[in-house]
Amino acid sequence: MKTTRQKDVFKEHQSLIARHKKEMKNSLAEYLQISEEGIEEIFSAIHFKSYKSGTVLVEPGEVFNDCCLILKGCVRQYHLQDGEEKTTFFFTEDQWFASYYSTTQNKPVPYYLTFVEDTVLSMMSISSEYDLFKKYPEFESVCRTGIEEQLEKYQEMLVSFMSSSPIQRYMNVLENRPDLIQRVPQYQLASYLGITPESLSRIRKRISSPK
């Protein structure tokens, strides 16, 4: 994006959105054995939106009502602790996030969600999701399966984090999400690994020159 003017980004995103709209409709029709109108109704609840790098999607104190899927870009979740930013997640292409708790209990989230890059999201409000669940049990089934997968993924992340050292966690990112190291500033990656930027810098040094 470095030398690309915003206008171009926007244009690029528009065609990307058009492509994804088509794909998504096809997937819906493929996975759901329901009427054409049903597909239309579900599809029309999905919104596509383009965001500029550095902007904020949600911040502490706000209720977060949407389920978001990343079509392109990167979203960072973090909160402030004693004035320090603690980065807890990086969401990238094909990952989704939501806060059912915030929506159903009408409670503000305790974290920020910001865009690390120019980003394109598809999103559905959780209240329409719930309405559609009632109307189309098959849709609920598909989403439930997705939630089960997500649950298992977070369990694994927790297990992995709990049972490894900072250096192992860094190697783990190197292996499983190598793109992150390019996409994300190092001080954000550091707190994502549960350490300080200085420590991460030294870990990288240790790895590159294993004397």
Partner DNA sequence: CTCCATTATTGACGATAGTCAATGATATGC
Partner DNA sequence: GCATATCATTGACTATCGTCAATAATGGAG
Q: Which of residues 104-163 bind its own copies (CB under 8 A)?
A: 111, 133-134, 137, 140-141, 143-144, 147-152, 154-155, 157-159, 161-163
CA-based Rg of the chain, rounded to a whole angstrom?
19
| Residue 6 burial class via C-beta count within 10 angstroms: exposed 0-12, middle 13-18, buried 19 and up | exposed
How many residues touch DNA under the rule CB under 7 A: the total is 20
* DSSP class of 2: T
Binders in 59-98 for DNA, by CB under 7 A: none
If the CB atoms of residues 8 and 138 are measured against its own copies, the closer one turns out to be 138
**Between residues 88 and 127, which has the closer beta carbon with respect to its own copies?**
88
Strand partners, 119: 51
Q: How far is the CB of 93 from DNA (least distance, A)?
A: 20
Q: H or E stretch including 119?
A: strand 119-125
Indicate which of DNA, its own copies, none lies near residue 163 (CB less than 5 to 8 Å, by partner kind).
Answer: its own copies
Q: Which residue reads 């984090």 in tokens?
A: 161
* Rounded CA separation 78/60 (Å): 10
Q: Tell me which residues touch its own copies (CB under 8 A).
A: 79, 81, 86, 88, 99-101, 111, 133-134, 137, 140-141, 143-144, 147-152, 154-155, 157-159, 161-163, 191-192, 194
